[in-house]
Structure formats: C-alpha cells, structure tokens
Amino acid sequence: MRYLVAGVATLALLLAMDTLRLFGSEQWLGILVRVDSQYFYALFALLLPVSYLIYPTRAWIDWPLALLSFGILCALFVTAEQGLDEAWEFAAPDWAVMAALSLWLCVLEALRRAGGWPLCVIASLFSLLPLFTDHMPGPLSGLSASWQDTAAYHALSIESMFGLPFQAFANLVIGFVVFGVVLQHTGGGKFFLNLAFALLGKQRGGPAKVAIVSSGLMGSMSGSVVTNVLTTGQMTIPAMRKAGMQPHVAGGVEACASTGGVLLPPIMGSTAFIMATLLEIPYVDVAIAAALPALLYFFSLYMQIDAYAGREQLAGLSVEELPSIRQTMAEGWFYLGAFALLIFLLIFMQREALAPYYATAALLILNQLSSEHRMGVSEFITMLSATGRLLVELVVILAGVGLIVGALSLTGLSGTLVNDLLSLAGDQLGLLLLMGALTSFVLGIGMTVTAAYIFLAVVLAPALVGQDLLPLSAHLFILYWAMLSFITPPVALGAYAAASIANASPLQTGFAAMRLGSVIYVIPFVFVLDPSFILHGPWYATAQAVVEAVIGVWLMAGAIQAFLPGIGHLNQMPGRLAIGFGGLAIAFPDLALAWAAGPDNWVHLVGGVLLVVVGLLFSWSRRKQAP
C-alpha cells in the first residue's frame, strides 16, 4: 500500500506541475488535457480511489468503490470537452446522469471515511437540499431541482464538488502540502524545535515558550490542529511537565499553539490560498493582513506563560539540557534557507503557484548534501506516501464541502440566506457580528478549519460585507471563530488530544486552553471593526493600534494569571479586575464605538489607563497591609 500511495502521489504531483508549466512553456500532457475540467477529473481520478484503500472497511467493498470511482472519472475526463460544449451540467445524457449520481455517492462515502461522520452528515443533507428546498420554511426555501439535475450539477459543473475549493487545491494548495511534508520528513520539525529550545529554553517557563514557536510554525504548514498536537506535542508536553508545569496547563499550551498555527502566515494551513481564491485577490494580501493578528495572539500566549511561570516560580532549563545554537544552525541552516526562498518567491516575486515547488526542490537538494539528514530510497518513498495520504484527505474534504457550496448555488440560497441574516440583525452591526461568531463557532465543531471556513465564506461572509465591512477582515473574522472550537469546551478537540499526551483531565485541559487563549476571542472583533490592524489604512493608525494592543495584552495576561511581569503578584480580585478591564480598554479602544455612538476613543484610552492605575494601587496597598 505504501508503494501504491507513493506512486499515486508522484503522478498527481507531475500532473499538477505540468499544468502549471513547471517543466517549460509547453505542457507535456497538453495533448490530453485541453480544458480545466479535464485536469480536475484527472487529478480526482488519481486521488479519490485511494481514499477507500487508506481508510479501509472491507476489501470486497473498498476495491469495487475504488474501481468504480476511477472508471467514472476516466469517462468524464474523456468526454469533458463535449460536456463543456453541450452544457451537460444542465442537460446531460442519461449515462452521464447515472455516472454523476454514482460519483456523488462515492464522494460522500469517501468523505465519511476521511472527514468523519459529522462532516459527512452535514455535506449529505446540504447536497440533497435542491430536492426538497421548495418545501422548507422561510430562510431555507429556494429553487427546487430534480435528482437528475442535482446530480449533474454536482459532478459536471465547476460550481459544486469541482468548485472554487477544489480549484484552489488543484492550482495552489498541492505545492504547499508537499513543502510541509518534505520539511517534516527531512528533519525540519526537529530543527525548529531545537532552535526554539536554544533561543528560549533558559527563560522561565522556557519549554512552554518553545512549544509556542515550534508548534506554531509546524501548525502553519500542516493545517490540522489535532495532527500537530499529536506530533509536536509528543516532544513539547513532556518537556513542559519536566520543568514543573501542571499537566493540564502543559496540554493547554500545546493546544493553543497548534491552533494558532492555522492563523500564522506564510502558509496558514492552506486556508490562506482558498481565501485568496474566493476573494479574487493575491495571496500576499491575505498573508500580510493576517500577520499582525496572528503575532498578537502568539504574543498573548507568551505573556500568559511568562506570567504563569512567574507566579509558580518555574525556572528555565539549564545550559546542559539545551542544544547549542551554533551546532543547531550548522546542522540545519538549509531549512531557514528554504523558508527564506519560499517567502521571497511569495512576497517579492509573487509566484504563489510555483514558489513551494522551487522551495521544495531547494530543500531536497540541500538535504542530500547533509550527511545527518540525507534520505535514502526507503525514506523517500515514505515521504511520498505521507504526501499522498495528506493530498487524498484534503481533496476528499474539499470536494465534499464543494457539494454544500454547489447545493446553495443551485437553489439560490447563497444569496437569500445573506438577506435573511441582514434582516434579522437589522442595522445592529454588533448583533450581526455576535450572530456570526456564534454561527462560525457552532459550525466549526467537528469540521476541519478549512471545511468550516469555506462553508461560512459562502453563507455568512457576504452578510458581513453587506454591512460595509472590509471583505478581507470579514473572511478572517469567520476563520478565527471557526477554529476556536478546537480550544473551547465542551468539544475542544485540540485540547483533548493534548490531554491524552499530558495524562490530564480532558475538560480541565480544555478550560486551561480557553484561559490561555482568551485574547483570541476578542482579536477578531478588533480587526473587523478597525481595519488598520490588518494594515488597511495609514501607517500611523496601524502603529497606534499595535502599541495599544501590546500594552493591553500584557495587562490582561497579568490579570488572568494573577501575576504581572515587571510588577509581581496580583493577589486581590478587585485589583485584577480593574487591571484586566483597563487593559481591554487600552488594547481595543474602538470596540465600544461599534455598539453605540459614544465619546472619542481617547476617552476609552484614558479610562483604561485610570483603571490600570487604580488596580495597581489597590494591589500594592493590599500587599503592604499583608503580614
């Protein structure tokens, strides 16, 4: 099976690279692949059948499903030009309708195996919506369609399973998936972990601060919170516990760091590329806009850990326990070189589609020059197999989510749902944002971050944009709230995965993660109401917003952990409350203005400073009175 998956991954990569003309101005497969839909069918024909083999049930079910899906996609590949000329998505011949219906069912079964029951049930119900939407009440009432038309639209159009999510995967995401897998299998994960230990290990709470850096970087590449927790957490959580951190807190730190990786440029777990495709803007614009909010989140994690370590008097690791920074750089400098090449090609050359392939090639060449990390044939096949597995999982999930988008498009609900949300919220932007946050959080439960984002981008984002919000900030808002379910009880899948490694109570770990990541519940409201925080506006407005946010986060972290770095213990609740709310007012002075017309934000800033002063004076006076 390992060789089969590795072979399929190789063919898929060659097909993708040839379509991007990576081997020259002329496509090697140009004689066969004449239209975009043929490329989509060919790529899906390589990857979909493998899903039944790497997520098996019984051989007598798996192999027939693999052969059936492969045969259907081959037939659609051969007739793609005819289908495009004759608009088969609206008037397909009988055999094509039956093929489309079979492919629809095959995709749902693959989605059940790769994405789990919750995502499969949601996609199934929504994909069937055109059959009975005319009988649905109010907001869910739309244009109905027969099962023949619905099946044809799902499989033969480029609006459903082969819609924008699949197209973003085929044209952009594949390269970054490969780069992330190659980085991990060539020793990149160990390098970044050692580098973080060398830089931060001596500080108080050093292992936890190391987890922030290493898990954040690896999470950005993997895009899967739970997978990242189960890989980097195996190294970071025992180190945190060894340094004296409570088990549930150690698990909470890892869950928060891995979750934040999805928000961290340059890769953002592939979601950034889908966002850029949906918004029809360059990927660089998304990455630059997402940078400050993500850095603020990781800064808040750092300050919370520093405050916790100060309160619990946790020392850092000794020099003997830490790797040498000189040796670490000497052994793994080429990882930073590959990253630098990737960022250069993305930001300065603006070659989003080709950048990861060049960076991966550079990484593989430099890796072979390293005697310690050089891969043999067996390791190379293992790496290709891991790449294939990740590509199969992603393509199945994106095709399944595409069924939801296609059903909403076919019934016309993608537009009417927006109008219904706007009518419910009226002119209250704050109410609409709260509804949007709650909706995003609920739909993020049990779904991957990417799947939840795509669905919300179709249903919810237009409603937010309709209130004159910046489109990019609205999309980032729903992305943030979609991933919060990974650290928020009662679900908190990321925290529960970390609890299994830390041998801690899952619920206790979930609440610890929620407390450590508390600032992230407010950050989305900041940049959606103040676009200067995502670099949209004059530089001085951004500079002011950043300075205020940094000071405010420092104060809030101290209030939450009862220890303010640079000041000391905050033992009295009234003082902590004053400092916490003061920090909130300083960090987000524009937040109050969104709810009602009020004083200038300088009033909120001054009020926040006064609250902090009162809290500090109270805490200081109580300490003086203590025996």
Res 427: pLDDT: 66
Decide: 384 and 10 in contact? Cβ < 8 Å.
yes
Which of 166, 191, 220 delimits the end of a domain?
A: 166
Instruction: List, for residues 155-206, the tens digit of each pLDDT value.
Output: 999 889 998 889 988 988 898 889 888 988 888 878 888 888 888 888 888 8
User: Is residue 564 a part of any domain in this protein?
Assistant: yes
Alpha carbons within 13 angstroms on the beta-carbon side of residue 163 total 25
For residue 577, being part of any structural domain is answered with: yes
Higher-pLDDT residue of 72 and 529 is 72
Whether residue 494 contacts residue 487, with contact meaning beta carbons closer than 8 Å, is answered with yes
Q: Comparing C-alpha atoms, which of 160, 169, 282, 263 is closest to residue 219?
A: 263
Ramachandran angles phi, psi of 563, nearest 5°: -155, 120
Contact 412, 85 (CB under 8 A): no
Eight-class DSSP state of 159 = S
User: Given pLDDT bands bounded at 50, 70 and 90, which one contains residue 425?
Assistant: low
DSSP-H helix ranges across 79-172: 80-85, 94-115, 117-127, 129-132, 147-156, 164-168
Whether residue 617 lies inside any domain: the answer is yes
pLDDT value of residue 24:
64
* pTM for the structure as a whole: 0.83
Which residues, listed in sequence order, are joined to residue 569 by a DSSP beta bridge?
563
In a domain, 525, yes or no: no
Residue at token pair 């495009």: 84
User: What are the residue ranges of helices labelled H in 488-600?
Assistant: 493-502, 506-516, 523-529, 539-561, 573-587
> In the predicted model, what is the mean pLDDT of residues 135-141?
75
pLDDT > 50? residue 597:
no
Helices H / strands E in the chain, number of each? 30, 2
> Which of 153-157, 359-363, 564-568, 597-601 is least confident?
597-601
Please check whether residue 274 is in contact with residue 453, taking contact to mean a CB–CB distance below 8 angstroms: yes
Q: Provide the number of structural domains found in the chain.
A: 2
C-alpha torsion 488→492→495→496, nearest 10: 150
268 within some domain: no
pLDDT of residue 621: 60
Q: Give the tens place of pLDDT for each residue, 219-272.
A: 777 667 887 888 788 888 988 888 888 999 999 999 999 888 888 887 776 788
Residue 621, domain member (yes or no):
yes
Chain mean pLDDT for the chain: 84
Would 42 be classed as within a structural domain? yes
pLDDT tier, 626 (very low <50, low <70, confident <90, very high otherwise): very low
Q: What is the pLDDT of residue 598?
A: 42
Give the whole-angstrom CA distance, residue 192 versus residue 198.
10
Dump pLDDT digits (tens) for 23-50: 766 666 656 787 889 999 999 999 999 9
Instruction: Please report whether residue 114 resides in a domain.
Output: yes
Query: According to the model, what pLDDT value does residue 177 have?
Result: 85
What confidence tier does 595 reach under pLDDT thresholds 50, 70, 90?
A: very low
User: What tens digit of pLDDT does each residue of 95-124 get?
Assistant: 999 999 999 999 999 999 988 888 899 899
Q: Which of 166, 182, 201 is the last residue of a domain?
A: 166
**Alpha carbon 178 to its chain's center:** 17
Please tell me which of 66-75, 216-225, 226-235, 353-362 the model is most confident about, judged by mean pLDDT.
66-75
Average pLDDT (447-454) is 79
Higher pLDDT, 498 or 221: 498
Percent of the chain with pLDDT over 70: 91
Among 126, 147, 166, the domain boundary falls at: 166
Write b or e for each residue in 206-216: b if 16 or more Cβ atoms lie within 10 A of its Cβ, otherwise e: bbbbbbbbbbb
Q: Which helix (H) or strand (E) holds 289?
A: helix 283-312
Domain ranges, residue 64: 2-166
